[in-house]
Amino acid sequence: MLCALSFGIVLGASLTHFLTLLPDSNILLFWCLVFITCVLVLRIYTRRLANGQIKRLLSMSFGLIASVMCAMTWTVLQAQSRVSDSLSVDHENVVTRLSFLVQSMSQDQSDQQRFQVKVLDPVPTGVPRRILVSWQDSSAGRLTVLPGQVWRAALVLKRPHGASNPSGFDYEGHLFQKNIRALGKVRGVPSLISDHPDASMTVIVARVRHHMRQAMRKILGQARYAPVLIALAIGDQDSVSASDWDIFNRTGITHLVSISGSHVTMLAAFGGVSMLWLWKRIRFGRIQPCELIPSKVMAACAALSIAFLYCLLAGWGVPARRTFFMLLVIGMALLARLPISSNGVLGIAAAVVTLLDPWSPLATGFWLSFGAVLVLFAVGTQAVQIQAGRSRTQKILLVIKESARMQWLITLAMTPVLAFLFQQVSLVSPFANAIAIPVVTFIVTPLALLTAIVSLIPGLEWCASIAGWTANLAMQWAMHPIIWLSETKWSMWNVAAMPAWMLCLSLCGVLWALMPPGVPVRWAGWCLILPALVWKPQRPVEGAWRMIALDVGQGSAILVSTHRHDLLFDSGPRLGATDAGQRVIYPAMRALAVNSLDAMVVSHADMDHIGGLPFILKSITVDSLYASFDAQDWLVRRAKFSIPADVANRELKFVRCEHGQKWIWDQVTFTMLHPQHPQHPQHSSAVTTKKNDNSCVIHISGAFHSAILPGDISVTQENILVHSNKELRADVVVVAHHGSATSSSPLFVTQMRARHAIVQSGYLNRFQHPETEIIDRWQKQKTSLWRTDQHGAIHVWSRPSSLDVFAYRSVGKRYWHH
């Protein structure tokens, strides 16, 4: 019954997060009371039943439904409070002067700081309380923002807005989970009003973490894995480089770099054992404290206290919360001498975490953390029984054997979940974890914590330096084989985004395979995982095509697929240390089972079209690269590429775009309409030195529908295309130059006779694309206008019977999306 109630609480909160609109909380509360009343009446009625199984089944069923309704009601009430505290349109993208209290450590980068703040009274109407502020200041003497400081600044506020793409990261949901209801960018120079380091418990913890981070940075200096040691000590992962994250992801050891349950448990166990040993030996005269308070009680209190402090220091993430509440349940059960199963412990911990934070199930770490522990509980009991009655040598060998067995089982059991969430499975994870787990858990993490604590004590900097140097050295030694594993071609297995029913089938197989010995054909359960790993989504038939205009912000990236071939038109912008290729294009291609490109076209060399090119060429095989400029020279000079060493396909062909180029894939014709060749007299007026006007333009003509991708050409080039080809038509047009006033001429718009027009632009971009005049021009032709800044990625599917278009933002809409 306890497990059923816990499951109902997690299920109720999770189901609420699939809603597009929040229901009336009063209606939910009514049905919640109805089911609770039914449970109470049922318990009275079932006392007369003789069949105990029917009693348990009825009680469990109604208890499950009642817990689901209670959890949904609680989550809806919490969500309504957050949704109501949102930024109004009147305050969006305008300067607003606010006073605010800094509540978090700043994420300090080379040119900016980011931190969470609470707006102080008086709060203007339409401005939320919680804001994520970004302060861009690259000057050498910039001020460091500390938790507890009160500032007054001019902020340009925006509502949280994230890209919406196939299997993409929900940035709006991520911020909603953190109760961040607006983003603010500092204008001018803020003024520091006061400092309150003890304003709240949140501020106190953040202030301590900040001082620990600064002390560790001073001690560790430029050590290779200094950011990793800081992440292990206080949970601050912002300084870990993208290349290191890529290695951790490819080898499946990301859980060790963050504050994991094993780290918390290890420290709690060390504190409990130490207190147990010490409490038995303390004596005050003839009185021993252990005679008044049992040693086990003090050991449990010490373990819980250390676990709680470490979880606070680590940022109180989902894995840390899960571990602490599991330890708390175990500790309370031991103190009260209550029998409780391992599943009951896990269920209560999951229910408590969900009730305290109903948005915990939105985090992938919630499912990975609780799922891994559930598998560990399922296979761990057998290992303990096998070790009984053996010699010491045999026990050591069996511990090694069972540890390896459990690691393999956990890896296999978590494979469907990892494939569903990330569309990737690390094949080298068991080997990498066999190296990393003992080193990181028993050497690196304790030394990192020792460095953090001792570095704050004056006079003991030398001790902190020794501990930090040793931890960094151990991490370097452990990473050598792990880096080698990550560089192997077989380290990762890409998996297409599977439907939910296939995940359920795989999980049923995992449950069957983990049944106790004696259950017949347990091995068959593992076979049910295989369909999810080889799943391929449907592709267009012969003569048809599929086009996805990806939501990459202020830039362009379009994936076109036929029955057996794939083409990428442009690669999106580059933003800071990342680019659209890494953040959007490659994950979307992976989810769609596009593991190579037959051709890639870069329309021109502006950064909003070419920014993701280096990452794409490194990550997947591209047969031919078409560009309106010398792409090979650009890669060597601007991207610092070493060709062909840095390219996934060593035989990549570089081709200059030119009018008249044509190829046919699966009865779909691709024709290059622009740039024109300068040697042709009739095309001399179209030749230009401007990058935009020199864009590659492709016309796609299938057996059923057609499309045109014009890059950033202007009105002049559009009119030349129309005059040179009177029969040029397109059912789908990607609006040139993101909908600027320099493109979409009346002649071009009229002749295309398009049924659908797609504008790729960024949300509230500084160019104010698309222009209202251009929108009106297309809509007057009765063309359906789609915008990536409002609708997310646009999916166009040419079928024999219809031309289907839908937006990903509407398909995956949730109640927190604006």
Cα(135)–Cα(113) distance, integer angstroms? 5
Cα(184)–Cα(120) distance, integer angstroms? 15
Backbone angles phi, psi at 367, to 5 degrees: -75, -40
At residue 188, does pLDDT exceed 50? yes
Cα(231)–Cα(212) distance, integer angstroms? 11
pLDDT of res. 577 = 74
Neighbours of 379 (CB within 10 A): 16
At residue 678, does pLDDT exceed 70? no
Would you give the DSSP letter of residue 444? Answer: I
pLDDT of res. 685 = 46
At residue 587, does pLDDT exceed 70? yes
Cα(122)–Cα(127) distance, integer angstroms? 10
At residue 684, does pLDDT exceed 70? no
Cα(382)–Cα(406) distance, integer angstroms? 10
The string of DSSP letters for 698-728 reads EEEE-SS-EEEE-TT--HHHHHHHHHH-TT-
- Highest-confidence range of 144-148, 240-244, 683-687, by mean pLDDT? 144-148
pLDDT of res. 504 = 92
Cα(467)–Cα(443) distance, integer angstroms? 10
- Which of 318, 327, 334, 366 minimizes the C-alpha distance to 348? 327
Count of alpha carbons within 13 Å of 294, Cβ hemisphere only? 6
How do residues 613-642 score in pLDDT, each as one tens digit? 999 999 899 999 999 999 998 988 877 777
Would you give the DSSP letter of residue 219? Answer: H
Reading the block at residue 557, the tokens are 């990236």
The string of DSSP letters for 389-418 reads T--HHHHHHHHHHHHHHHHHHHHHHHHHHH
At residue 239, does pLDDT exceed 80? yes
Cα(169)–Cα(582) distance, integer angstroms? 12
Cα(704)–Cα(447) distance, integer angstroms? 65
Reading the block at residue 567, the tokens are 């083409």
pLDDT of res. 341 = 78
- Determine contact, residues 334/273, Cβ cutoff 8 Å: no
Q: What share of the chain is helix, strand, coil (3-state, %, to 5)?
A: 50, 15, 35
- Determine contact, residues 624/568, Cβ cutoff 8 Å: no
**Cis omega (within 30 of 0) for bond into 675:** yes
Model confidence band, residue 325 (pLDDT cutoffs 50, 70, 90): confident
Express as a percent the part of the chain with pLDDT over 70: 93
At residue 689, does pLDDT exceed 80? no
How do residues 55-84 score in pLDDT, each as one tens digit? 677 677 777 888 888 899 899 999 999 999
Averaged pLDDT for residues 747-761: 95
- Highest-confidence range of 5-9, 240-244, 749-753, by mean pLDDT? 749-753
pLDDT of res. 575 = 79
Model confidence band, residue 549 (pLDDT cutoffs 50, 70, 90): very high
Q: In a 3-state reduction of DSSP, which class is residue 198?
A: coil
Backbone angles phi, psi at 303, to 5 degrees: -65, -45
- Which of 221, 23, 166, 190 minimizes the C-alpha distance to 117? 190
pLDDT of res. 64 = 83
Q: Exposed, middle or buried, 519 (CB in 10 Å: 0-12/13-18/19+)?
A: exposed
Q: In a 3-state reduction of DSSP, which class is residue 152?
A: strand
From 463-472, 534-543, 646-655, 665-674, the region with the lowest mean pLDDT: 646-655
Q: In what order do the strands lie in the sheet with 545-549?
A: 653-656, 624-627, 599-602, 566-569, 558-561, 545-549, 794-798, 803-807
Averaged pLDDT for residues 731-752: 94
Model confidence band, residue 666 (pLDDT cutoffs 50, 70, 90): very high
Model confidence band, residue 388 (pLDDT cutoffs 50, 70, 90): low
Averaged pLDDT for residues 276-301: 82
Cα(706)–Cα(700) distance, integer angstroms? 5
Model confidence band, residue 288 (pLDDT cutoffs 50, 70, 90): confident
How do residues 96-106 score in pLDDT, each as one tens digit? 999 999 999 99
Average pLDDT, the chain: 87
Averaged pLDDT for residues 288-307: 84
Cα(699)–Cα(785) distance, integer angstroms? 19
Express as a percent the part of the chain with pLDDT over 90: 53
At residue 50, does pLDDT exceed 80? no
Q: What is the pTM of this model?
A: 0.88
How do residues 418-464 score in pLDDT, each as one tens digit? 999 989 999 999 899 889 988 998 899 999 999 999 998 888 889 99
From 138-152, 434-448, 528-542, the region with the lowest mean pLDDT: 138-152
* Phi-psi sector, 710: left (phi>0), alpha (psi -120 to 50), beta: alpha
Model confidence band, residue 138 (pLDDT cutoffs 50, 70, 90): low
At residue 608, does pLDDT exceed 60? yes
- Determine contact, residues 225/443, Cβ cutoff 8 Å: no
